[in-house]
């Protein structure tokens, strides 16, 4: 019983201190996952990781622009303020599939 309480407290603390974290992995040419869901008013740390090549991930509406290359990830903390469906795109010309790189971001 005691252990469960401690675990519960630990989970609560990490959520309070760190907030939500989402990793997005870019490859030639797309993102994994293809869609993420955020909560309105809830801060989230978004990290872009690249598995191959240089890629970006940006959304003007949500106010971020990340760039990553293998071994060099980049993070940003955002707090979406409006419910809706957004599309983030690759912001770095990265080759023939560049224009097909989209990530759907749903804010609930
Ligand atoms: Cu690109």
pLDDT in tens, 25-54: 999 999 999 999 999 999 999 999 999 999
Answer positive or negative: Cα dihedral of 22, 80, 70, 35.
Answer: positive
Where do the H-state alpha helices sit in the chain? 2-18
State the fold for domain 21-107: Immunoglobulin-like (2.60.40)
31 by DSSP, 3-state: which? strand
Q: Residue 71: what pLDDT?
A: 97
Whether the per-residue pLDDT at 18 is higher than 80: the answer is no
- Residue pair 104/87 in contact by the 8 Å Cβ criterion: yes
Q: Provide the pLDDT confidence category of residue 2 given band limits of 50, 70 and 90.
A: low
Whether the per-residue pLDDT at 65 is higher than 70: the answer is yes
Q: Residue 17: what pLDDT?
A: 57
Burial group, residue 72, by CB count within 10 angstroms (0-12, 13-18, 19+): exposed
Whether the per-residue pLDDT at 19 is higher than 90: the answer is no
Quote the ligand 1 centre to 100 CA distance (angstroms). Answer: 8
Quote the ligand 1 centre to 57 CA distance (angstroms). Answer: 8
What CA dihedral angle connects 85, 87, 88 and 92, to 10 degrees? -170
Whether the per-residue pLDDT at 20 is higher than 80: the answer is yes
Q: What is the mean pLDDT of residues 68-73?
A: 98
* Ion ligand 1 neighbours, Cβ < 5 Å: 90, 92, 94, 98
- Residue pair 14/22 in contact by the 8 Å Cβ criterion: no
């Amino acid at each position: 019983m005691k252990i469960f309480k401690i675990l519960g407290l630990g989970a609560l603390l990490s959520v309070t201190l760190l907030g939500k974290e989402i990793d997005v992995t870019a490859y030639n040419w797309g993102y994994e996952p293809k869609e993420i869901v955020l909560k309105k008013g809830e801060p989230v740390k978004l990290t872009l990781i690249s598995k191959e090549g240089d890629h970006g991930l940006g959304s003007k509406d949500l106010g971020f622009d990340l760039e990553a290359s293998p071994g060099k990830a980049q993070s940003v903390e955002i707090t979406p303020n409006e419910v809706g469906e957004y599309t983030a795109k690759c912001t770095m010309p990265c080759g023939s599939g560049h224009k097909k790189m989209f990530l759907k971001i749903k804010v609930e």
